[in-house]
C-alpha cells in the first residue's frame, strides 16, 4: 500500500471546514492528523507530521496560518477569502525562501465552475455573441454574482485579445433592465428563484449555432473534490498558485 | 372519403400566406379554392365556394376582408395584426347578425407558444417565484419581446387573482439592469444572440423544486399547425374567438 | 385574525413527517395539535381537536389511521404508499357514511411535478413527437423512474384519445438502447448522474418548434407546499380524491 | 488595405459549396477567384492564382482535387468525407515533398461542436459521471449520431488515461433501452423529435454539482465560420492537420 498523505484542517468548526474533515477522513490516500477550530493554537500543528494544511478559516487569521505552515515546511491549500494582491506578494516573497513548498489559494473550489469559466473564456473569441445568465436563491443580496462578474471579465479579456467586436445588438426600444447588466461589454442577467442554489449559463452564438456551458451547484459538497485535488497536487506545484485552474490539465 | 373543406387564402403573396397556401394544399382534408394576393379583387372569392377564408394580409385591409367573408357566409381565420378593441366590437356586432358564422383572430398561431403561456399562467399561482427569460436573434429592435410581455401580464394576473405575494428578492446591491425588466411585478430578461430565432423560458420556483416551461420557435413553419387547427375548428365555434387558446382543449 | 386550522401529523418521527411538523408549525393559519410517532396510540388523537390529520406513516398502518380519522370526523391528507384499488374502494364506502368528510391520497405532493405531468398530457395531442428524459442520482435502482412511466402513460392516453399517430422515427441503424425504452409508444430515456436528485423533461416537437416542460426536484422540502395545500383544501373536497391534481385549478 | 487571399471553391454546385461561395464572397479579406462545379476541369484552377482551395465535393473526387492543389502549390481546406487512414498517409507523403503547403481535413466545421467535444474530453476526467444526450430530427436513420459516438470515444479515452472509474450506476431493474446505448462505457441517449435539427448535450456530474456542455446546430450556416477560419489559417499550418480543433487555440 502506498503511504498516506498527512493532512491538517484549520477552521474545522466552520461549515466548509467540517465538510473538509469528513472528505479527508473518507479518502483512502489521505490521513487526517489534525482538525483545529477557533481558539486552538497553531503550535499544536508542529508535532502532527502534517504535510499539507487546509485553511478554511477567516480573512483575519488565514495569513498567519499560511505563514506558519510554510515556515514549518508544510504545503497549504487555502479556501479563505481576503488574499488581496499585497498579501499574495508578501507570500510570494516568503515562498522564495522555501523553494520546495507549494501554496494553492483558490477563490472557488467547485471543479465544474472553474472549468466552465475556463471553457467560456476559450470559446468566447470564436462566436459573434456571448451573454451570461446566473441564477440563485432569492436570499442573495448581490446581483450579478461574483462568479458571473469574473466570468464576464475573462470573456471580455479573451475577446479583446483576439480582436473580436462587441456582441451585435439592434435593440432600440427597451424596458429598463431588459437587456441585463453590462460587465465590460458582456451582458449579464441575474435570476432569483426560490428553490435554486447557484447556477450559471454562458451562451455563445454564431450563425446557425449555439454553444451553452452551464454549471449547477446544488450543495456545498461540490467544493470537496476540488479541495482534495488541491491537497494531492500541491506538493508538486512549488510556489504560489492562485486559482484552481492552475492545477487542471486544460492544455493537452 | 369525407368531403374536403374549401379554403381560400388571402395574402398569398406574403411569406406567411405562401406558407399557408402550401400547408392547405398538403392537407388531405382541405381543398385550396383560391389564393389571392395584393390587388386581387375580393369579389373573385364569391364564386369559389370557399367555406373558410384565411386572412394573412395587412392591418389596413384585414377588416374589410373579414367583413366580406362573414357577409358571404364564410368563416374566417385571421393572423393579421391591428384588431384593436373597437374593431373587435364592430365585428362582434356583425357576427350577431350572422349567428352561424365563426371568426378566429389569433395574435400567435404557434401551438407551443400558446400552450406555454397558458401553462405558465395556470402554474404561476402555485409557486413563490416566477421569472421569464426570452432569447432572440440580435436584429430584434424591441426588448422584451411582445410575447414575453403578454406572458408576464398573464402570470401577474393569475397571481393577483390567487392572492400570491410578489416573488421574493433580497437584492440590495446590484449593477444596473442585472435583475431584468419589471413587467407588472414579474422580472423579464432579454437575451440577444446570433444564431437564435425566438425562444422563451418561464421559470417557476418553490422550496426545493423548479418548474420550467420553455418554447423554441426555429422556423415560420411553426405557425402552420395552428392555422390548420383553426381552419378545421372555426365552423364549430360560431361568433368571435380571440386567441388560439380558445380552440385548445386545456380543461379536461 | 381568522381561526387556525388544527392539524395532527402521524409519522412525525419519519423524514417526511418531521418536515411536515416543521411546515405546519411555521404556517400562520395552521396549528399543530399533535405529532405522533411509531408506537403512539391513535386514541391520543381523539382529544386534540384535530380537524385535519396528515398521514405520513407506513403502508401497514395508513389504512387504520385514515379509518380512525374519518370515523372521528377528521379530514385526512395521505402521502403514504400502498393504497391499491381495493383499499380505495373500501375507503370510498366508509366516506359515503361520513358525507362531510374529505380524504386526499396523493402519490406525489411536489406541485411542480404534478403540474408538469398534467401539462404534458394536455399538450401531447398537439405535437407530432413526444419523448421523455428523466435524470436521477446514480444510486437509484429502477429505470425509468415511476414518475416517468406514469407521465408516459398519461401522454400515450391523451394522444390515443385524440387520434394522434405515433411519433415519427426513421431510425434503421441503431446501437442497442440508443432510442430509449418504449412505454406505450413513448420513448423514455433514463440518465444517472452523481450530483443530481430527481429531474424530468418532457420534449414535444412539431414543424419548426419545440415545447419543453421540465421539473427539477432538489430537496424533500419540495413536497411541503403540496401537503399544506392539501391540508387547507381537504375540508372543501368531501369524499375521496386520488392525486393532488384534483385540488389544482387547471381548468380556467 | 491588406491584400486579399485568393480562394477557389470546388463543389460550388452542392449545398455546402454554395454556402461557401457566398461566405467567401462576403468576407472582406478573401477574394473568390474560382467556383467549380461537377464537370468543370481542374485545369482551369491553374491560371486563377488561387492560394487556397476549398474542397466540398464527393468522396470519389476529393483525393484527386487535393493532390492537384498541393502539386500546384495551393493550400487546401477539405470538408468532404471519405479520408480514411490510408488516404491520409498517402497525402502525408505527398506533403513531405511540398513542405510549405498546408491541408486541413475536418469531419466537422461547426466551431461550437468542435469546441464542445474538446471541452467534454478535457472535463471528463474530473467528474464521477458522464452521459451524453443527442437530439435530432426524426428523419435521421442512425442512432446515436456519428458526432455523439466520437464524443463518447474522446470522453472514454480521457477518463481511461486519467485512471477514472466507470460512471456509477446502481440500476438493477430496468426497461430495455432505458439506460441508453453503451459506447466504450459512456451512456448515449438519442432523442428524435420533429422540429429539431442537430443538438448534443454532455452531462458531467460530481458530488453536489453538474457541468453541462450543449451544442445546438440550427442551420447549415453554422459550418461557414469554421471553413473561413480554416481558409485564413491553413497557410500557417504546413503539413496535414486532421480536425478543426488543431487550429483552435485551446491551450492558453
Q: Are B131 and A193 in contact (CB under 8 A)?
A: yes
Mean pLDDT of chain D: 95
Cβ–Cβ of D218/B222 closer than 8 Å? no
Q: Which residue of C169, C183, C193, C201 to mutate against D (max D Cβ within 10 Å)?
A: C193
Cβ–Cβ of B208/C229 closer than 8 Å? no
- Cα angle at C165 between C162 and C167, to 5 degrees? 120
Question: Is C12 assigned to a binding site?
Answer: yes
Point out the residue among C141, C204, C210 whose CB comes nearest to the CB of D171: C141
Confidence of residue A251 (pLDDT cuts 50, 70, 90): low
Give the SS3 label for residue C183: strand
Cβ–Cβ of A131/B191 closer than 8 Å? yes
Q: Which residues of B touch C125 (CB under 8 A)?
A: 249
Calpha distance D94→D87 (Å, rounded): 11
Cβ–Cβ of C222/A195 closer than 8 Å? yes
Calpha distance B38→B78 (Å, rounded): 16
C246's grid cell: 384534483
Q: Which residues of D touch A211 (CB under 8 A)?
A: 111-112, 115-116, 213-216
Chains linked to C by 3 or more Cβ pairs within 8 Å: A, B, D
| Stretch (H or E) spanning C193 | none
Rounded to two decimals, the ipTM of the complex is 0.90
Calpha distance B153→B185 (Å, rounded): 9
**Smallest Cα–Cα separation from B113: which of C211, C252, C213?**
C211
Point out the residue among B181, B193, B203 whose CB comes nearest to the CB of A193: B203
Q: Which residues of D touch A20 (CB under 8 A)?
A: none
Q: Distance between alpha carbon C173 and the CA centroid of its chain, in Å?
A: 39
Ranges for all domains in chain A classified under CATH 3.40.50.720: 5-105+221-247
Question: Is A194 assigned to a binding site?
Answer: no
Q: What is the mean pLDDT of residues D190-215?
A: 97
| A to C CB pairs, distance under 8 Å | 13
D204's grid cell: 458531467
| Residues tagged in the binding site annotation of B for (S)-2,3,4,5-tetrahydrodipicolinate | 137, 146-147
Alpha-carbon distance values, B183 to A12, B116, B169, B210, C32 (Å): 46, 18, 15, 21, 39
Q: Which residues of A touch B187 (CB under 8 A)?
A: 191-192
Calpha distance A177→A170 (Å, rounded): 16
Q: Torsion angle of alpha carbons A158, A160, A162, A167, nearest 10°?
A: 90
Q: Which residues of B touch D197 (CB under 8 A)?
A: 218
Instruction: Characterize the bridge pairing of strands B198-206 and B129-136.
Output: antiparallel
Contacts of B160 (CB under 8 A, 6+ apart): none
Q: Are A105 and A83 in contact (CB under 8 A)?
A: yes
Question: Is C137 assigned to a binding site?
Answer: yes
Chains linked to B by 3 or more Cβ pairs within 8 Å: A, C, D
Residue A68: count of CB within 10 angstroms of its CB: 18
Q: Where are the alpha helices (DSSP H) in chain D?
A: 15-26, 43-46, 62-71, 85-96, 111-123, 146-162, 224-233
- Determine the pLDDT at residue C251: 63
| Residues tagged in the binding site annotation of D for NAD(+) | 11-16, 79-81, 106-109
- Cα angle at B12 between B7 and B15, to 5 degrees? 125
Q: Which residues of D are catalytic?
A: 136, 140
Q: Classify each residue of A146-156 as buried b or exposed e, where b means 16 or more C-beta atoms within 10 Å of its C-beta.
A: ebbbbbbebbb
Cβ–Cβ of C210/D195 closer than 8 Å? yes
Residue of A nearest to C222 (CA): A195
Question: Is A80 assigned to a binding site?
Answer: yes
Q: Which residues of A touch D249 (CB under 8 A)?
A: 122, 125
Residue of C nearest to B162 (CA): C249
| Residues tagged in the binding site annotation of D | 11-16, 79-81, 106-109, 137, 146-147
Give the SS3 label for residue B8: strand
Q: Catalytic pick from A22, A31, A122, A140?
A: A140
Span A111-140, pLDDT tens digits: 999 999 999 999 999 999 999 999 999 999
Q: Torsion angle of alpha carbons B24, B27, B29, B30, nearest 10°?
A: 10
Q: Which residues of B touch A201 (CB under 8 A)?
A: none
Q: Are C62 and C36 in contact (CB under 8 A)?
A: no
**Smallest Cα–Cα separation from C213: which of C141, C126, C144?**
C126
Point out the residue among A131, A144, A171 whose CB comes nearest to the CB of B143: A171
Whether A140 sits among the annotated catalytic residues: the reply is yes
- Determine the pLDDT at residue D1: 52
**Smallest Cα–Cα separation from B212: which of D15, C116, D1, A222?**
C116
Q: Give the minimum alpha-carbon distance from B184 to chain D in angstroms, rounded to a whole number.
A: 33
Q: Which residues of C are catalytic?
A: 136, 140
Q: Are D108 and D101 in contact (CB under 8 A)?
A: no
Q: Which residue of D26, D29, D112, D157 to mutate against A (max A Cβ within 10 Å)?
A: D112
Confidence of residue D251 (pLDDT cuts 50, 70, 90): low
Residues of C with CB under 8 A from a CB of A: 195-197, 216, 218-219, 222
Higher pLDDT, C3 or D131: D131
| Residues tagged in the binding site annotation of B for NAD(+) | 11-16, 79-81, 106-109
- Tell me, letter by letter, the H, E, C secondary structure of chain A: CCCCEEEEEECCCCHHHHHHHHHHHHCCCEEEEEEECCCCCCHHHHCCCCCEEEECCCCCCHHHHHHHHHHCCCEEEECCCCCCHHHHHHHHHHHHCCCCCEEEECCCCCHHHHHHHHHHHHHHHHCCEEEEEEEECCCCCEECCHHHHHHHHHHHHHHHHHCCCCCCCCCCEECCCCCCEEECCEEEEEEECCCCCEEEEEEEEECCEEEEEEEEECCHHHHHHHHHHHHHHHHHCCEEEECHHHHCCCCC
Judged on CB neighbours under 10 Å (0-12, 13-18, 19+), A43 is: exposed
For the cut 90, the answer to whether the pLDDT of residue A250 exceeds it is no
Residue A46: count of CB within 10 angstroms of its CB: 12
D47's grid cell: 491560371
Contacts of A75 (CB under 8 A, 6+ apart): A51, A52, A53, A69, A101, A102, A103, A234, A235
- Determine the pLDDT at residue A86: 96
- Determine the pLDDT at residue A1: 52
For the cut 90, the answer to whether the pLDDT of residue D115 exceeds it is yes
Ranges for all domains in chain A classified under CATH 3.30.360.10: 111-218
Q: What is the mean pLDDT of residues C27-53?
A: 94
| Residues tagged in the binding site annotation of B | 11-16, 79-81, 106-109, 137, 146-147
Q: Catalytic pick from A136, A189, A199, A215?
A: A136
| A to D CB pairs, distance under 8 Å | 138
Query: What architecture is the D5-105+221-247 domain classified under in CATH?
Result: 3-Layer(aba) Sandwich (3.40)
- Cα angle at B35 between B33 and B39, to 5 degrees? 135
Question: Would you say the C-alpha torsion B63, B69, B74, B80 has a positive or negative sign?
Answer: negative
| C to D CB pairs, distance under 8 Å | 186
**Smallest Cα–Cα separation from C94: which of C252, C239, C241, C215?**
C239
Give the SS3 label for residue D77: strand
Under DSSP, the state recorded for D45 is: H
Query: What architecture is the D111-218 domain classified under in CATH?
Result: 2-Layer Sandwich (3.30)
- Determine the pLDDT at residue C249: 81
Q: Which residues of C touch D169 (CB under 8 A)?
A: 138, 192
Cβ–Cβ of D206/A212 closer than 8 Å? no
Span C58-109, pLDDT tens digits: 999 999 999 999 999 999 999 998 899 999 999 999 999 999 999 999 988 9
Under DSSP, the state recorded for B79 is: -
Calpha distance C150→D79 (Å, rounded): 46
Portion of chain C with pLDDT greater than 90, in percent: 92
Q: Which residues of C touch B122 (CB under 8 A)?
A: 115, 119, 249-250, 252
Q: Which residue of D215, D218, D220 to mutate against B (max B Cβ within 10 Å)?
A: D218
Residues of D with CB under 8 A from a CB of A: 110-113, 115-116, 119, 122-123, 125-127, 204, 206-225, 229, 248-252
Q: Classify each residue of C90-102 as buried b or exposed e, where b means 16 or more C-beta atoms within 10 Å of its C-beta.
A: ebeebbeebeebb
Calpha distance D138→D133 (Å, rounded): 15
**Smallest Cα–Cα separation from B117: which of B146, B84, B152, B83?**
B152
Q: Are A232 and D126 in contact (CB under 8 A)?
A: no
For the cut 90, the answer to whether the pLDDT of residue A73 exceeds it is yes
Per-block average pLDDT, block size 10, for chain B (252 residues)? Answer: 89 94 96 94 92 96 96 96 94 97 94 96 97 97 95 97 97 97 98 97 97 94 93 97 91 56
Amino acid at each position: 500500500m502506498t503511504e498516506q498523505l498527512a493532512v491538517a484542517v484549520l477552521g474545522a468548526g466552520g461549515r466548509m471546514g467540517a465538510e473538509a474533515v469528513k472528505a479527508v477522513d473518507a479518502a483512502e490516500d489521505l490521513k487526517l492528523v489534525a482538525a483545529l477550530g477557533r481558539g486552538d493554537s497553531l503550535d499544536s500543528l508542529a508535532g502532527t507530521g502534517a504535510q499539507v494544511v487546509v485553511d478554511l478559516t477567516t480573512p483575519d487569521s488565514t495569513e498567519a496560518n499560511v505563514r506558519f505552515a510554510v515556515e514549518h515546511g508544510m504545503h497549504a491549500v487555502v479556501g479563505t477569502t481576503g488574499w488581496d494582491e499585497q498579501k499574495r506578494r508578501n507570500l510570494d516573497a516568503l515562498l522564495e525562501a522555501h523553494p520546495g513548498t507549494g501554496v494553492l489559494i483558490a477563490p472557488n473550489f467547485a471543479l465544474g465552475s472553474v472549468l466552465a469559466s475556463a471553457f467560456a473564456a476559450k470559446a468566447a473569441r470564436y462566436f459573434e455573441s456571448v451573454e451570461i445568465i446566473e441564477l440563485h436563491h432569492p436570499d442573495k443580496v448581490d446581483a450579478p454574482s461574483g462568479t458571473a462578474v469574473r466570468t464576464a471579465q475573462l470573456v471580455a479579456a479573451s475577446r479583446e485579445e483576439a480582436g473580436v467586436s462587441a456582441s451585435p445588438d439592434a435593440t432600440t426600444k427597451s424596458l429598463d433592465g431588459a437587456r441585463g447588466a453590462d460587465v465590460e461589454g458582456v451582458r449579464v442577467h441575474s435570476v432569483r428563484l426560490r428553490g435554486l442554489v447557484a447556477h450559471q449559463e454562458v451562451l455563445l452564438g454564431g450563425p446557425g449555432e449555439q454553444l451553452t456551458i452551464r454549471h449547477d451547484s446544488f450543495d456545498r459538497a461540490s467544493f470537496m473534490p476540488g479541495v482534495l485535488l488541491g491537497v494531492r497536487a500541491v506538493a508538486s506545484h512549488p510556489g504560489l498558485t492562485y486559482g484552481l485552474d492552475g492545477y487542471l490539465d486544460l492544455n493537452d
